[in-house]
Amino acid sequence: MQAPSLVRPAFDLEQANHDLSSASAEDVVEWAVARFGRNLIMSTSFGAHSAVMLDLVTRIVPRIPVVFIDTGYLFPETYRFAEELKRRFHLNLKVYVPEMSAAHQEAIYGKLWEQGEDGIERYLQINKVEPMQRALDELGAAAWLAGLRADQTDHRASLRPVDVQNGRVKIHPILRWSAQEIDAYIEERDLPYHPLYAEGYRSIGDHHSTLPTTPDMDPRDGRILGQKKECGLHLPLSEGEDQSLRSSGL
């Protein structure tokens, strides 16, 4: 099946970031909806603070497609949390899974996450990157709302409210929010944390590579896939392609 052609937005990327530099998270979402309409999606991991973006975005655009990548290795609590939030927000949820099941992968490759950086790269490609790329293609997404925050990783600190990743516009409404602002929003809106958050899991991924952390640690120190703090979904395919896209005038 041929992927639908992307809608090339007729706007200046630098100007968009200038205009949105002091905008509220709600204003950024409204800008994205006005700009991309039906070609806009959002993603969620149903992680520790995922209720924040789901509440924020669905209040503005209730039926937005919400992409959830189910690696097959998530905590039972994550699956139950996903069901809870799906009901609470009446989500238009689009679940994507790897083309090769967890059992199939382990039969052929063994436990890839235990096989050094090369194994981890293959693991991420099979379980996260390819399903997300397939979701974006099948849903005809020209733009993608993601709940990344600048205080989470060095890569995320380099992002802007609007960027381009692998040919699609990536929009980060809560990029500049602090952990304190996240907690305040959760309290104000009476939103739930992931059930494992109370047990010290502050950054939650696959069960075989996620550990609890103490308050004095970086939350993403609990993500132990090699030296990585990024799961691969939010990185460009290559440095060269990223540079090319940044100069494309989108």
pLDDT in tens, 173-218: 999 999 999 999 999 999 999 999 999 888 899 999 888 876 767 6
Q: What is the pLDDT of residue 146?
A: 93
pLDDT in tens, 97-107: 999 999 999 99
Residue 231 is among the residues annotated as catalytic for this protein? yes
pLDDT in tens, 77-127: 999 999 999 999 999 999 999 999 999 999 999 999 999 989 999 999 999
pLDDT in tens, 8-29: 446 789 999 999 989 999 999 9
Query: Would 163 be classed as within a structural domain?
Result: yes
Domain, as residue range, for 69: 13-233
pLDDT of 129 strictly over 70:
yes
Q: What is the pLDDT of residue 237?
A: 46
Query: Would 245 be classed as within a structural domain?
Result: no
Query: Would 8 be classed as within a structural domain?
Result: no
Q: CATH code at 111? A: 3.40.50.620
For residue 206, give the nearest of 227, 222, 217 by alpha carbon: 222
Query: Would 3 be classed as within a structural domain?
Result: no
pTM: 0.83
pLDDT of 229 strictly over 60:
no
pLDDT of 244 strictly over 80:
no
Q: Domain count of the chain?
A: 1
- The one catalytic residue among 231, 233, 245, 250: 231
